[in-house]
Amino acid sequence: MSGDGAPTPPGPAPGPAPGTAPGTADEPVGEGAVPAAAAVDPAVTEHLDEPTRAVLADPGWRRLHPVTPVLRAWKVIAVALAFLVGNNLDELARIDVPAWVLLGSLLGALLVLALVGAVFSWLSWRKMRYRLDAEAVHLESGILWRQQRRAQLDRLQAVDVVRPLLGRLFGLAELRLEVAGGAGSKVSLAYLREEEAQRVRNALLAAAAGVRLEAAGGEVRADEAPQREVAEVTPGRVIASTLLSGATIAGLLVLAGVGVAAVWTRSPAPLLGAAPALLGLLSASWQRFSRSFGFTVADSPDGLRLRHGLLEQRSQTVPPGRVQAVRISQPLLWRPKDWWRVDVNVAGYGQGGDAGEQSTVLLPVGTREELARVVAVVVPGLGTPEESPFDVVSRGLVSTGDDGGFVPAPRRARWLDPVAWRRHGFRATEHAFLARSGRVLRQLDVVPHARTQSLGAAQGPLQRRLGLASVVLHSTPGKVAPRVDHLDSATAARLLAEQAVRARAARAAAGPERWMTRPADQPPAEQPSAERPLADQPPAGEPPAGHPGEGPAGVSADRS
Amino acid sequence: MSVPGLEPFAPEGVQWRRVSPRLATVQRIALLAWLLPIALVALVLAALLTWWVATAAVLALALAAWGWWVVGRQVPAWGYAERDDDLLVTHGVLFKSIVVVPYGRLQFVDVQAGPLDRRFGIARVQLHTASPSTDAAVPGLPPEEAARLRDRLAARGEARLAGL
């Protein structure tokens, strides 16, 4: 079909954005005209609001925002400045010239750098354009070495809208798509106007979901799929949890140590020596704090929505079925408060250095009720007929031995792990595999059966003597590496055989990559929706579904 | 699906296919290729300078002998088995390990052969899933067998391919 078949949206956004048209003709890549077949099926766009539909219905090439080069150039300057000041300050101070000459030449150098950066950024902006259709996102970039990237939407793993501090001043945002093609496979559209980033994200998710099969059941999809708040982290708790984290304790210990040393030697040398380490710890704590700030988790038909950040704000959307594994862990000092932290593996996340690092947090700090709710969203079908998801998770977090339906490591495992042997154990529910470990630092890994990549078992000489073996579940790259240590070797053998069967069955039953195209007869196992068995959670902390406004009661109660 | 056995490294009903013994030859040559020169240099130095440098040569030779023996134990322990839905790979004598790779999870398959491997007619098949921790490789396959395995895995993987 051609573009005119689509319900052509009236109004502002549809046509080429200002500044789009002139550039396209002289592009070396030539075929500015888009193949008509790539345009979007009107059925997909039917339920979307006007601007989102406009994004979808206009399959032409689009430019990034014109302010992009300025922001990029500023980055170059900032890096150069940091380099100059950070590395060469001593040398600069030693040079024997008047201060104003020094300052002047410095400023001049910076100016030149800024100019070069600006020209370069401007050129690269001119050569960068993107386009989306129902199948894929296309991105072209590069000044001398042209790169054309096509990201298949049914492989979409996550969509992030990142608003760096500077971008926020201009009302700009970066759109990042993860498609799990290994390191460097993400598609980054930087920068777009915030509204445009939102629209493109919604359009992408709608197209990736394959919304055509009267999917929304006749209900009108808003510009953003409706969301339901699952958990929220209050600022007070972010501060408290940061203060109680390991980095703080390490910092205090170091400080005390060097303090004593300084008094002992009567010189400030130890303090100065420890300064870099302390600064490092401080900055780690600060980063954790600033990332966790204002953290909210919400559930929507498009998947999980995470929103967080103090200076750099980030809103992540992880479509249903994209979470590969979950780890719930607890720093020692959080135990009195019963706080936990939830990390996830999402293919594509966790491969881009620290940018990946921060995306893998599902809940920086939360009570058991909150984390159970969050985990139940990303691992559908976690509960069993007898137990709610809360019970399953909660038992996995604190139980020992064969409590809570877990298969424990045998008693003889104490020779290999005298401290935590009682905690080693696993449990396989209908839809997920749970691996429990850690006594001092408790930990629970949850892997949906359908997301098991491969399995392994290993046995060292000591384990063989004791008749033990460890079983490992392989997941996509990330923080979660589920394993069950020191199982009885017969149990391990059985687990290996049974888990292979379970994973296969779950994969066969798993939903389609385009999560809205599920045939009606399939159970909505992976569909995040209101009938998700959350209502059977016991504690009063459960908010009625569909009241996104009021946060979970557990949050406000905990405000201390 | 086999009936679960009691031993994780020997699932019931699984006939392991073993790798070529030529792998041992290749590994031993590779081992000696760097240990023998060390021993030689140490011996020469011992003759020229002081006798105690010869201990280095003794050490290198002992290491070579030990490696020779270990290779002889390890190579027969490599095994793989194609089941209906997954491939099993096992290796190790002292530290045993087994990996179960479902065909539907295979992302791609590598076949590698270095100069020494080619000289002795063996190749290594490396399996890749979306998980970097899937450490599934079968070294020491005759090239025809490696190619056959690769094509078979690719075909089966395609038939069963799911998303991540």
Q: What is the ipTM of this complex?
A: 0.87
pTM value? 0.78
Q: Which residues of A touch B (CB under 8 A)?
A: 154-155, 157, 180, 321-322, 324, 347, 451, 453-461, 464, 469, 471-472, 474-477, 481, 489-490, 492-494, 496-498, 500-501, 503-504, 507, 510, 513
Could you state, in chain order, the average pLDDT of each consecutive group of 10 residues for chain A (560 residues)? Answer: 38 37 36 39 54 64 84 74 66 68 81 83 88 84 86 86 88 87 75 88 82 40 67 92 86 87 84 84 87 91 89 89 92 91 85 59 92 90 86 91 91 94 93 93 93 92 94 90 94 92 86 61 40 36 35 32
Question: Is B162 in CB contact (< 8 Å) with chain A?
Answer: yes
- Give yes or no for a contact between B108 and B117, defined as CB atoms under 8 angstroms apart: no
End-to-end CA distance of chain B: 23
Task: Mark yes or no for CB contact A507/B11 under 8 Å.
Answer: no
Q: Is B159 exposed, middle or buried (0-12, 13-18, 19+ CB in 10 A)?
A: exposed
Omega cis (within 30) before A191: yes
- Residues of chain A contacting B135 with CB distance shorter than 8 Å: 456
Residue given tokens 């925002």 in the structure block: A65
Structure token digits, residue A308: 């967080």
- Give yes or no for a contact between A480 and A326, defined as CB atoms under 8 angstroms apart: yes
Residue A268 has what pLDDT? 80
- Give yes or no for a contact between A438 and A473, defined as CB atoms under 8 angstroms apart: no
Residue A284 has what pLDDT? 85
Residue B144 has what pLDDT? 93
Task: Determine the distance in angstroms separating the CA of B65 from the nearest CA of chain A, rounded to an integer.
Answer: 22
Alpha-carbon span B71 to B55, nearest angstrom: 24
Q: What are phi and psi of A148, to 5 degrees?
A: -120, 125
Residue A47 has what pLDDT? 55
Buried b (16+ CB within 10 A) or exposed e, A266-291: eeeebeeebeeebeebeebbeebbbb
Residue B148 has what pLDDT? 94
Task: Mark yes or no for CB contact A496/B99 under 8 Å.
Answer: no
Task: Determine the distance in angstroms separating the CA of A501 from the nearest CA of chain B, rounded to an integer.
Answer: 8
Q: Is B48 exposed, middle or buried (0-12, 13-18, 19+ CB in 10 A)?
A: exposed
Question: Is B2 in CB contact (< 8 Å) with chain A?
Answer: yes
Alpha-carbon span A491 to A496, nearest angstrom: 8
**Least CB–CB distance from A493: residue in B11, B97, B136:** B11
- Given a cut of 80, whether residue B83 has pLDDT beyond it is yes
Residue B162 has what pLDDT? 57
Residue A546 has what pLDDT? 35
- Given a cut of 90, whether residue B77 has pLDDT beyond it is yes
- Residues of chain A contacting B9 with CB distance shorter than 8 Å: 457, 459
Task: Mark yes or no for CB contact B8/A492 under 8 Å.
Answer: yes
Residue A521 has what pLDDT? 41
Neighbours of A158 (CB within 10 A): 24
Residue A187 has what pLDDT? 85
Task: Mark yes or no for CB contact A475/B131 under 8 Å.
Answer: yes
Structure token digits, residue A353: 């250095």
Q: What is the mean pLDDT of residues B145-152?
A: 92
Task: Determine the distance in angstroms separating the CA of B49 from the nearest CA of chain A, rounded to an integer.
Answer: 43
Residue A410 has what pLDDT? 94
Look at the alpha carbons of B52, B57, B61, B66 in this order and tell me if their dihedral is positive or negative. positive
More confident residue, A23 or B109: B109
Grouping H, G, I as helix, E, B as strand and the rest as coil, residue A4 is helix
- Residues of chain A contacting B133 with CB distance shorter than 8 Å: 456, 472, 474-475, 481
